[in-house]
Amino acid sequence: MIDEIITDVMKAEGWDSYTNDPADRGGPTKWGITQKKWSEHHGIEATEDDIKAITEVQARDFYEKKYVIAPRFNLLPYMIIPLVIDSGVNSGVRCASKWVQRAVGAKQDGWIGDKSIARAMESNHVSTFLRIVSYRCKLYGRLVARDAQLKAAQDAGFKLQARFASGWNNRVMSFLERLAQNIS
């Protein structure tokens, strides 16, 4: 299951395409892995060439360690694991962890501990799933609305973060579609 989730994340992130889009604050990216995150993962400053050279095996290892095992997302209810892992990749592990905690009424400290896991297991998993999707959509709206350069960029014909809003929402809405298929 985890390997399939990682595959889905990597596909959503552009698979093996290398990008360095000036409007994307992540900078140089491959397999959805930014230069900053790759540097943190290895404890050394990665170069653009290092990012370009990331293999599929390395990317899978990175995602499993950073977004599955370390944050303990693999210990959550089966139904929400794919959404929470993808949320961690897209919005940060701490943010995704807080969304889970808020959805299940646990202390929102950004760390999935034993109490958070227990609350998640006891929760209505469909409700938890839907709440996390809602929190994620709200964040996307805030990101676009808060972009200080949005007005000037719009006047100049650019949309900056707004360029990505449709893709972000399509991505998160795909989880709602999957849920609907599973409960019908």
Mean pLDDT of 132-154: 79
pLDDT > 90? residue 168: no
Taking each helix axis as running N to C, give the angle between helix 125-146 and helix 81-91, from 0 to 180 degrees, rounded to the nearest 10: 20
pLDDT > 90? residue 88: yes
> Which residues lie closer than 8 Å to 66 by C-beta, 6 or more apart?
37, 41, 93
pLDDT value of residue 52: 98
User: Which part of the chain has CATH 1.20.141.10?
Assistant: 79-184
pTM (global) more than 0.95: no
Mean pLDDT of 155-177: 75
CB 46 within 8 A of CB 38: yes
Q: Confidence class of residue 184 from pLDDT cuts 50, 70 and 90?
A: very low
Q: Could you report the per-residue pLDDT of 104-129, keeping only the tens digit for each?
A: 999 999 999 999 999 999 999 998 99
CB 1 within 8 A of CB 81: yes
pLDDT value of residue 27: 92
Domain 79-184 has CATH 1.20.141.10: yes
Q: Of 96, 44, 50, 43, which Cα lies nearest the Cα of 33? A: 50
| Secondary structure of 120-134 as H, E, C letters | HHHCCHHHHHHHHHH
Q: Could you report the per-residue pLDDT of 2-50, keeping only the tens digit for each?
A: 999 999 999 999 999 999 998 788 899 999 999 999 999 999 999 999 9
What letter represents residue 75's amino acid? L
> In angstroms, how far is CA 82 from the centroid of its own chain?
10
pLDDT value of residue 85: 99
Mean pLDDT of 85-109: 97
Range with the poorest average pLDDT among 79-88, 113-122, 123-132, 171-180: 171-180
Distances (CA, A) of 118 to 66, 102, 111, 121: 22, 14, 13, 5
